[in-house]
Amino acid sequence: PAGDGQNLVTEDVTVVEGDVATISCRVKNSDDSVIQLLNPNRQTIYFRDFRPLKDSRFQLVNFSNSELRVSLTNVSISDEGRYFCQLYTDPPQEIYTTITVLVPPRNLVIDIEKETAVEGEEIELNCTAMASRPATTIRWFKGNKELTGKSEVERWSDMYTVTSQLLLKVGREDDGVPVICLVDHPAVKDLQTQRYLEVMYKPQVRVSQNYPLQGLTREGEPLELTCTAYGKPQPTDMRWLRVDDEMPQHVVVSGSNLLISNLNKTDNGTYRCEASNAVGKSHADYMLFVY
């Protein structure tokens, strides 16, 4: 700013591309001097309330002895720069205001290396925010837990494209959980995108005793066991066996159920239910002791 006891006031303007920027040149103590506004190339936009510049995007909002306020519609990046307020006093006074144009990211895309992962595997996810300014900050969440990615910024003329890479070791508890890529940028609110994880895992197997419900497995009484197995994909193959021994002749196996209608001491031992799917095989054991 030139001259002492500066009589001119203005503020910097930050605006999102396509929006309206308003520039205000104000005089603290008016003495009827002429106020004028110049663009970054020092061409006169307004001289008093007259506009020599043939650009109708500039419009007068307010004009008086103490203020020249001008709006610029449909702002683009090429409008960025220093605009000068001048006051025709002796000597003339000048002050500048800077217009900064923000550009929100064009779009936001998550790219997953594999549509379907297997538990224990490490997968790579990339989130790209295209063409913004300034460069975006990308944040990652799995469910509502924040994770740390690694960002790379690519500059292309005036714009920045940011890609963030996330390495994620997945477990069965991650199946169906959303991974969210969220953008921190002054030009946008709440811009995010998400992908749901699909994680395959081997069966979880459980054996439960249906009968007798409570109490002891007594000689002469029946025993009924049920095997349940969950996995992804859902296990189709389920089988019963007796560990370290042959299955007794009188044991009836139907699907996931095992039935012994008349227990005797020779039935003592460990009964195993095995289930398998494309990922692997698991089992659960039941130890039978006949009283």
**What is the pLDDT at residue 67?**
95
Instruction: Assign domain 107-197 to a CATH class.
Output: mainly beta
Write the pLDDT tens digit of every residue in 165-185: 999 999 999 999 999 999 999
Same CATH topology for 8-102 and 107-197? yes
pTM, rounded to two decimals: 0.79
Instruction: Assign domain 8-102 to a CATH class.
Output: mainly beta
**Residue 156 half-sphere exposure toward CB, CA atoms < 13 A:** 7
- List all residues 6 or more positions away from 269 whose beta carbon is below 8 Å from its beta carbon: 242, 243, 244, 245, 287, 288
**What is the pLDDT at residue 1?**
41
Count of Cβ atoms closer than 10 Å to residue 93 Cβ: 21
Low-confidence stretches of the chain (pLDDT < 50) are: 1-5
Give the H/E segment covering residue 185. strand 178-185
**What is the pLDDT at residue 122?**
96
Write the pLDDT tens digit of every residue in 204-226: 999 999 999 877 899 999 999 99
Label the pairing between strands 257-260 and 251-254: antiparallel
**What is the pLDDT at residue 160?**
97
**What is the pLDDT at residue 6?**
77
260-270 burial, b if ≥16 CB within 10 A, otherwise e?
A: beebeeebebe
207 neighbors 225 (Cβ within 8 angstroms): yes
Residue type at 59?
Q
| β-bridge mates for residue 285, sequence order | 272
**What is the pLDDT at residue 2?**
43
Report the SS3 class of residue 265.
Answer: helix
Domain boundaries, given as residue ranges, for the chain: 8-102, 107-197, 202-288
Fold observed for domain 202-288: Immunoglobulin-like (2.60.40)
